A and B are shown apart, each in its own frame.
Chain A
């Protein structure tokens, strides 16, 4: 039985030192005396040196063999490399073929048993044995203890450790250097890429700029060219018509046919140009939506008569289903009509027989109307669904080439629909043919339904100044109403010049807010109309428009000018300055009565001046020149009768209307006396204060203001 105690590596000079030191340690622990320890250590040193010198590296194993008391200490020295050839024959002879094996020879003398073996591959094993003294034979347990004791004591070879650490450090440094190199390379690459990207960006920007310019030029030249083209084509059409009407003499049948071709060709051309013009207008943002209220039924009537002629000679029925339950639509009728016209004429074009049907559906939840244009024509392949909405995108096919369109109809329809907040899509019907869906919001713009639909039946609030606002855009109108809510001003809206003119006949507004771009003529004409009419020339006018021509506005007599969007503060300030509030002088000794009156008049055109007795009342009447005076009769000091008499005597105050507010029971004589100066007498008696105040309101309304 063999128990291994320790292994030592041999690869360096100083390992020999380590090996012999450990040999001594182990020998000491196993109970060898000091002389034997030295012997063993020396033997190990000798063998280790020879093995290291001749083979380069190896290892040593210390172990114990046998049962106590007969135990052997064994030192096994193995060479890792090869190098000692024919070692067996060399050892122990006087005349050795191999020099430098003194150590192994010396070890033979120091140890009890010596054995040397050589593997076929040249590796050598030297085994040294020495009997352990009986007195100190070891049990298995003792050996285990010794083994762990040795492991504990084994000096860490500092040189080896440093060498190992150095090696590691070197390899780490090498790795770091390599990493650094890689990083540098990567950085370099990144920098190059970056430069490339920057250059690319610059190029892209340049391209974008160029494209933008090109697009602008395209749009401009398109709209200009279209105009240029339109004129001669219109002439051609007109002249062809003259010729066809036989105005210039009769035509032969052949000539008539030729003229017919010319006419239809130029009409096609004209249509193409119109579509082009519309498209470029939309792209240039020049197209405006002119929303009005209209009935779908009327629209269908117009479309039917417009599109019927297209069916000539084709066995196709054109059916407009009755738009039952479709509400009045607030949108741009012209554009809706154009869209439907495009869709229907397209459907007719690609339907040889059968029918083209137009239906309407109301989507309550989204507040939209969907128009469906069904045809029994050739249909659309799914892969062409997107193509047909592209400009000049046309599907190749026998029928398509027969009825060549401009290729602009559907793109134009889609653009128009988008302008109105709607969508257009198409699909194939399973029974053949196709259907185009056009979805349109019932209400154009973002104004809520009630507001935009509300007819102009605004109740005049007599306690507020009315401001006539002439504005066709519902959203802007809505904004004005918001601005002036809870102020002394009430908005009276008019959506067109005609409406405004109509309103001016029945209402005399305190001010007018006027837009310039209106659906039925411009605001300039209306402005000069107002300023030339004796009845309205004193009404201040504020021009609020996108048109930036303040000079023109002033010349025409407008009081002020502002370009949209109009700030709330601006309009409030201008109105307050141009239309001063009506002043009421309240002469009453009861502060509660004054407070209530003030409360009642908040948010109206009246502002209250307070006086607590007759003298103060007279002074304020002279200074402030109020529009109306409310006078209490029973007051300390100068009473109401005296105050009224003095007011009427003074030429500065005699014209001011006076309302008597009193709780005194007046007799006939007193009434007669007051009736000469006051326009109205209100009795506080028997009615609540609030009711009395309502009466004051009524009285105030009856008072004509300047």
Chain B
């Protein structure tokens, strides 16, 4: 079965979703990511959804769940590259993606993660 690749970048994990995910693939990503966060002791997870044209309620919930799991495992999650149409639809659907931080692109996302880590280490 196909998998969404998870790349390690120092203390962070980078996930770039480039295919239109079906539900099981999303489920698998959730499981894989949880595994990797633990295994690599990742401080943060960056999910790039710039290629996704559609994010329906299931996927929205999925992203939310992933963010929650990662937070539970002591890793920050940032979703980057969301398309405007997707954002509008998500809002219309009433899905708020609570607990998920977003950024416009990967660079911004990275900055956000680095900043939050700095904050944490300071604290």
B85 x A38 contact (CB < 8 A): yes
Q: Please tell me if the beta carbons of B58 and A49 are within 8 angstroms of each other in the complex.
A: yes
B86 at the interface (CB under 8 A from A): yes
Task: Give the residues from 90 to 120 in chain A that come closer than 8 angstroms, CB to CB, to chain B.
Answer: 102-103, 106, 109-110
B56: contacting residue among A13, A35, A37, A103, CB under 8 A: A103
Contacts of B23 in A (CB 8 A): 13, 16, 49
For the complex formed, measure the closest distance between the CB of A166 and the CB atoms of chain B, giving whole angstroms.
Answer: 14
B55: which of A21, A24, A42 is its contact (CB, 8 Å)?
A: A42
Residue of B22, B88, B94 near A13 (CB, 8 A) is B22
**Subset of 11 A-B contacts with CB under 8 Å:** A13-B23, A20-B56, A35-B84, A38-B86, A39-B89, A45-B58, A49-B56, A106-B56, A106-B93, A109-B92, A110-B93
Interface residues of B in 44-88 (CB under 8 A from A): 53-58, 83-86, 88
| A residues neighboring B (CB under 8 Å) | 13-14, 16-17, 20-21, 24, 34-35, 37-39, 41-42, 45-46, 49, 102-103, 106, 109-110
Indicate if B97 sits at the interface (CB-CB under 8 A). no
Inter-chain contacts of B93 with A (CB < 8 A) = 42, 106, 109-110
Contacts of A38 in B (CB 8 A): 53-54, 83, 85-86, 88-89
Minimum C-beta distance from A17 to chain B (A)? 5
B85 near A34: Cβ-Cβ < 8 Å: yes
Interchain CB contact under 8 A, A102 and B86: no
Residues of B within 8 A of A110 (CB): 89, 92-93
Known contacts A37-B85, A109-B92, A20 near B55 by CB under 8 Å: no
Interface of A is mostly: helix
Asked whether, in the complex, the Cβ of B58 is within 8 Å of the Cβ of A109, the reply is no
Known contacts being A20-B54, A49-B56, A49-B58, is A13 close to B24, with CB within 8 Å?
yes
Please give 11 more A-B residue pairs, beta carbons under 8 A apart, in addition to A17-B21, A49-B23. A13-B22, A20-B54, A20-B56, A21-B20, A24-B54, A39-B85, A39-B92, A45-B58, A103-B58, A106-B94, A110-B93
For the complex, what is the distance from the CA of A45 to the CA of B59, rounded to whole Å?
A: 10
Q: What residue of chain A has the Cβ atom nearest to residue B27's Cβ?
A: A13
B54 touches A41 (CB 8 A): yes
Pair A14/B22 contact, Cβ less than 8 Å = yes
Partner of A45, one of B56, B83, B84, B94: B56
Q: Which residues of A contact B56 (CB under 8 A)?
A: 20, 42, 45-46, 49, 103, 106
A45: which B residues are within 8 A, CB to CB? 54, 56, 58
Q: What residues of chain B lie closer than 8 Å to A24, measured between beta carbons? A: 53-54
Nearest-CB residue, chain A, relative to B24: A13
Q: Which chain B residues border A13 with CB–CB below 8 Å?
A: 22-24
Cα-based distance from A103 to B24 in the complex (angstroms): 17
Chain B at the A interface: SS class:
helix
Residues of A contacting B57 in the complex (Cβ-Cβ under 8 angstroms): 42, 46, 102-103, 106
User: How far, in whole Å, are A17 and B24 apart by their CA atoms in the complex?
Assistant: 11
- Asked if A16 and B22 make an inter-chain contact with CB atoms under 8 angstroms apart, the answer reads yes
Q: Do B94 and A109 touch across chains, with their CB atoms under 8 A apart?
A: yes
Q: Once A and B bind, how many residue pairs between them come within 8 Å at the CB atom?
A: 64
Contacts of A37 in B (CB 8 A): 85
**Chain A nearest Cβ from B97, distance in angstroms:** 14
Q: How far is the CA of A357 from the CA of B82 in the complex (A)?
A: 128
Chain B positions within 8 Å of A14 at CB level: 22, 24
- A-side contacts of B92, CB under 8 Å: 39, 109-110
Within the complex, the shortest CB–CB distance from B20 to chain A, in Å, comes to 5
Instruction: Give chain B nearest CB distance to A35 CB in angstroms.
Output: 5
Collect the chain B residues with CB atoms within 8 Å of residue A17's CB: 20-22
**Complex contacts, B83 vs chain A, CB 8 Å:** 38
B3 to chain A, nearest CB (A): 14
Residue of B nearest to A46 (CB): B56
Closest partner residue, chain A, to B83 (CB atom): A38
- Please measure, in the bound complex, the distance between the C-alpha atom of A467 and the C-alpha atom of B86, giving whole angstroms: 129
How far, in angstroms, from A13 to B53 measured CA to CA in the complex?
18
A13, B27: Cα distance in complex, Å: 12
B29 to chain A, nearest CB (A): 14
Instruction: Write out the residue numbers on chain B whose beta carbons fall within 8 Å of the beta carbon of A39.
Output: 85, 88-89, 92
Q: How far, in whole Å, are A14 and B27 apart by their CA atoms in the complex?
A: 13
Q: How far is the CA of A20 from the CA of B56 in the complex (A)?
A: 10
Expressed in whole angstroms, the minimum distance between the Cβ of A11 and any Cβ of chain B is 13
Contacts of B24 in A (CB 8 A): 13-14
Contacts of A109 in B (CB 8 A): 92-94
Q: How far, in whole Å, are A70 and B85 apart by their CA atoms in the complex? A: 25
Q: How far is the CA of A106 from the CA of B94 in the complex (A)?
A: 8
Q: Are A20 and B89 in contact (CB under 8 A)?
A: no
Bound together, the chains give a CA A110 to CA B56 distance in angstroms of 11
For the complex, what is the distance from the CA of A37 to the CA of B85, rounded to whole Å? Answer: 9
The 9 A-B pairs of least Cβ separation, nearest first, read: A38-B85, A45-B56, A14-B22, A17-B22, A42-B56, A35-B85, A106-B57, A106-B93, A41-B54
How many Å lie between the Cα of A354 and that of B55 in the bound state? 123
Given A16-B23, A17-B21, A110-B89: A42 touches B54 (CB 8 Å cut-off):
yes
A649 to chain B, nearest CB (A): 134
Complex alpha-carbon distance, A14 and B2, angstroms? 12
In chain B, residues 79-109, which have Cβ atoms closer than 8 Å to a Cβ of chain A?
83-86, 88-89, 92-94
With both chains docked as a complex, state the minimum distance between the C-beta of A8 and any C-beta of chain B, in angstroms: 14
* CA of A39 to CA of B53, assembled, Å: 10
**Which residues of A sit under 8 angstroms from B85, Cβ to Cβ?**
34-35, 37-39
Give Cα A507 to B1, complex, Å.
117
What is the distance, in angstroms, from B60's C-beta to the closest C-beta of chain A? 9
A398 to B86, CA, bound (A): 119
B20→A20 contact, CB < 8 A: yes
A31 to chain B, nearest CB (A): 16
Report A12 CB to chain B, min CB distance, Å.
Answer: 9
Contact of A41 with B53 in the complex, beta carbons under 8 Å: yes
